Amino acid sequence: MGLRCSADTLLRRLINTPETKQSGAPHVGIDEWAWHRGHCCGMLIVNPDTHRPLVLLPGRDQRTLATWFRKYPEIQVVSRDRSGVYATAAREGAPQARQVADRWHLLKNIGDEPERMMYRYMPLIRLVVRELSLKKSPEPEISVPVASLRRLERLKQHIRKKRHQRWTEVMALHNKGCSFREISRITGLSRVTVSRWVGSGTFPEMSTRPPKRGLLDPWREWLKEQRECGNYNSGRIWREMVARGATGSETIVRDAVAKWHKGWIPPVTTAARLPSVSRVSRWLMPWRIIRGEENYAFRFISLMCEKEPELKIAQQLVLEFYRILKT
């Protein structure tokens, strides 16, 4: 802007600017406001027409909100979520106003439902991942020592067992009638996790990450040929790799060749990464797909809907509801 002043000066001028008096509006929107997720610091009331805040009321008390509504009888529409506190306060403080559900929460709710449903289709997600990975060109192969495989498998089984025990505890508490807040306090899990586990109905398996690609991955086939030919000279192998355009350190090659003497099993193909349930549920809704994954998401969902007609119906209902909100 060409202003010759510091950032501190601009902030100081902004803070010292007299606050304009905020009044009511024919249409107001209300929602919780917090510094941190999961904590409620107040109720934020905004003017949806001007996109400006009107007031931040402390806490989440019904009487406080109803008192504020009574000050502005010109309010005709109250846009809110499904909170009973907001509904009761609006009825008491602004009985003349019409209460409507705001579009943001409607879109959020319609996005949450497919995610709860998708937990029942974890076996189908795994099947689709395998089928799509087979259609792709084969990935570079990596070698994994037998001992490492056994240790990793034992560790995975141990983690899964502990996680299953916690899931069983959560479901038992839920069946006894405990609220999500009580279950969260007893188990130490977040309320989001408790809600997701209870809503899934079945034990939610963890997504697995594929091993990271290394500097020698492009050379796996060539190194396999050298090993089969009996060439265990790491120095000679490194010089040939440099002549072919390899970069890096000779130490990497020396370590790899040294492992050939320790009973490594034949190379195994890198497994495709299993997408999370929330990610797959987003793929059902085109407006929530992240840029760059459109093609894979379309093929993934198309294959899932082909194998499970119920998902196709769910996707059609979601899209139809989305069009209604946008028109």
DSSP string, 54-71: EEEEETT-HHHHHHHHHT
Helices marked H in 244-307 — which ranges? Answer: 250-259, 277-283, 294-307
Residue 66 has pLDDT above 90, yes or no: yes
What's the pLDDT at 208?
A: 55
CA distance 83 to 196: 20
Res 193 pLDDT > 60: yes
53 close to 44: Cβ distance less than 8 angstroms? yes
More confident residue, 257 or 23: 257
- Tell me the sheet residues that pair with 57: 43
Strands 268-269 and 141-142: antiparallel
Contact 250, 265 (CB under 8 A): no
Would you state the pLDDT for residue 135?
A: 63
Which of the residue ranges 23-27, 100-104, 251-255 would you say has the lowest mean pLDDT?
23-27
Q: Alpha-carbon distance 162 to 7, whole Å? A: 52
Which residue type is seen at 27? H
Looking at the predicted structure, is the pLDDT value of residue 5 above 70?
Answer: yes
pLDDT single digits (tens) 273-292: 788 888 888 888 877 776 66
Q: Report residue 103: phi and psi, to 5°.
A: -65, -35
Residue 149 has phi, psi (to 5 degrees) of -60, -45
**CA distance linking residue 239 with residue 254, whole number of Å:** 12
Phi and psi at 218, nearest 5°, equal -65, -15
Return the domain boundaries, the chain: 24-101, 107-150+158-210+272-326
* CATH H-level, domain 24-101: superfamily: Ribonuclease H-like superfamily/Ribonuclease H (3.30.420.10)
Q: What pLDDT is attached to residue 142?
A: 44
DSSP letter, residue 261: G
| pLDDT at position 204 over 60 | yes
Task: Specify the range with the lowest mean pLDDT, choosing from 18-22, 30-34, 126-130.
Answer: 18-22
Distance CA 237, CA 228 (A): 13
Residue type, 41: C
Classify burial at 280, counting beta carbons within 10 Å of its beta carbon; exposed 0-12, middle 13-18, buried 19 or more. Answer: buried
Query: How high is the pLDDT of residue 38?
Result: 67
Q: How confident is the model at residue 137 (pLDDT cuts 50, 70, 90)?
A: very low
pLDDT at 266 over 50: no
